[in-house]
Structure 1
Amino acid sequence: MTPQPSARERLLDAADDLAARQGMRATPVDEILGRAQVSPATLYAHFGNKDGLVVEALRRRLSRWEVTWQACVDEADTPEDKVLALFTALARHRSSHTPSRWCVFLGAAAETPSPGSELASTLADDTRLLVDRLESIAQEHLAGVPARVLAHRISLVYTGVLGMILRGSEVDPVIAEGRAIAALAIRSLADGAAPADT
């Protein structure tokens, strides 16, 4: 018999699932408690308050996303495919975890115009991972391509894909289109097109 997850894990699972489906701010604490089958005292003992739970759920989601992305990079065969593995990872992440309406981190940022320091730091970690990882992969695998410029361009494409998912586009086709546009960005820079300042 599989042991039941701990109360802490049930709270994180509930917060992650509900936030992905309907947003952090739209999810009342009572709904999280009911899904996790724990008391308010348990939430406060583990996380202090709802905001603490939200931050920890986001951090766990970011850690899982990083693992998925790295696995897709490792599996890619060509230098270009290693950069484009971002889009493979997006599709895989959505199929292996609760699919969100678009991006839980962008959603949290939109819902919280004045986040506390912990939430602000966690949201910044997500952005930093996106841009810095893309730059690092490009530097390692695409000699001669301006890695920082490419990272910013692909980040814009990726964010556009997430936005189109929110608008109701079919997920697989829009991810494929985003990958194709990102591939054009790689080839443009590889062919020596003058990069704009970023």
Structure 2
Amino acid sequence: MQMNDSQRIAAPRDKVWEALNDPEVLKAAIPGCEELIKHSATELEAKVKLKVGPVKATFGGKVTLKDLDPPNGYTIEGEGSGGVAGFARGGAKVRLEEDGLEATILHYDVDAKVGGKLAQLGARLIDSTAKRLAGEFFTAFGEQVAPAAAKEEAGDALPDASAAAEKKGWLGGLFGGKKQEADADKTSEPAQ
């Protein structure tokens, strides 16, 4: 499976780099992560519980960071086993690009292989699950790195929703009121 994408994070590149190397931030952002232990600057160990289609498993694995180029990026290589569910191994090249002074574009290229029951599920299910998990990771990672920006984006969405509700209420009142008046006229008219 191969996947590449990029994500804009509302934080300076140095802050994003720090977060990418902070096990607590990563643990909070990785979907299903139960444990993330940093053994050294380049070695981590993780325990992640995932559901891929009908297969649920807890994966334990080791992750190695290579080609470190602070604050520009690195390469991640890892391998994990989920017992009878199967295994996953692969790597990702992560590159950080400044987007102005207060934002960073995080680019990633992933190449992974799965085996066991996971491989039997089919490429479409695995690809769609991987994309969903990547989306969940970046949403949570962005909230960890730039919580104020995430709240502002959520706050920006609220006025639009409330304005739409007000408009709907106003239109509903306008049209609902006329209908109620017409219904009242019908009931007050004497039967002929």
Same-fold call, TM cutoff 0.5: no
Larger radius of gyration: 2
Q: TM-score, normalised by structure 1?
A: 0.27
Structure number with higher strand proportion: 2
Structure number with higher helix proportion: 1
